[in-house]
Each structure stands twice: as C-alpha cells, then as structure tokens.
C-alpha cells in the first residue's frame, strides 16, 4: 500500500468537474484507491464521484491517498499529478 498526501490546489476545490476527472482516472486502475480527509478521518472511494463530492474538499484541503494493488505506483503518480496540476483549472 502507498499512502501519500495531496493538496487541493484549484480555486473551486473538489467540485463536480474535478471529482469527475479524479473518479474517471481512478477507474482506470485495478488498485483500491481511497482518499482520506484527515480533518474528519473520513475515507471515500476515489472511484465514486458521489463520494468525492460528499467530501466537500475546498481549495487548500490536505487529503491523503491510500492506494493498494498491482498498479499502485502508476495510480499514485497519475493521481498526484492531477492534484498538482489543479485538475487543469486555475488556482487563483
């Protein structure tokens, strides 16, 4: 299992478009992918857009990715890149 921290950088946070991108990318991997909000200790399935939206993670939120499976390294790199890029959206 790989556990790593990410920051929500885009201005609108983990809203519908960003959550859709994240869920769609997560579904490409066979690994189990969960995202935890350490402020609430709540974990959600990153492959579920509804669960991602329920997190209501705004800009600046620190989240933790938990990824386990055969393709965990590739999944981690791909999902971290999405967060670092702000899902292709402005950060200010």
Q: What tens digit of pLDDT does each residue of 26-64 get?
A: 999 999 999 999 999 999 999 999 999 999 999 999 999
Whether residue 91 is contained in a domain is answered as: no
Percent of the chain beyond pLDDT 70? 100
Do the domain assignments include residue 92?
Answer: no
Edge-first strand listing for the sheet containing 2-7: 2-7, 62-68, 32-37, 42-45
56: left (phi over 0), alpha (psi -120 to 50) or beta: left
User: pTM value?
Assistant: 0.91
Specify the number of domains making up the chain. 1
Catalytic residue positions, numbered:
15
Residue 81 lies in a domain: yes
CA–CA distance, 4 with 47 (Å, rounded to integer): 17
Domain that includes residue 44, residue range: 2-86
Q: What is the CATH number of the domain that holds 11?
A: 3.30.1340.10
């Amino acid at each position: 299992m790989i556990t790593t921290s990410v920051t929500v950088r885009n201005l609108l946070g983990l809203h519908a478009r960003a959550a859709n991108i994240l869920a769609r990318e997560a579904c490409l991997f066979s690994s189990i992918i969960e995202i935890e909000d350490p402020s609430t200790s709540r974990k959600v399935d990153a492959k579920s857009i509804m669960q991602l939206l329920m997190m209501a993670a705004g800009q600046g939120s620190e989240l933790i990715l938990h990824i386990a499976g055969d393709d965990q390294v590739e999944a981690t790199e791909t999902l971290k890149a999405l967060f670092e890029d702000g899902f292709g959206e402005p950060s200010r």
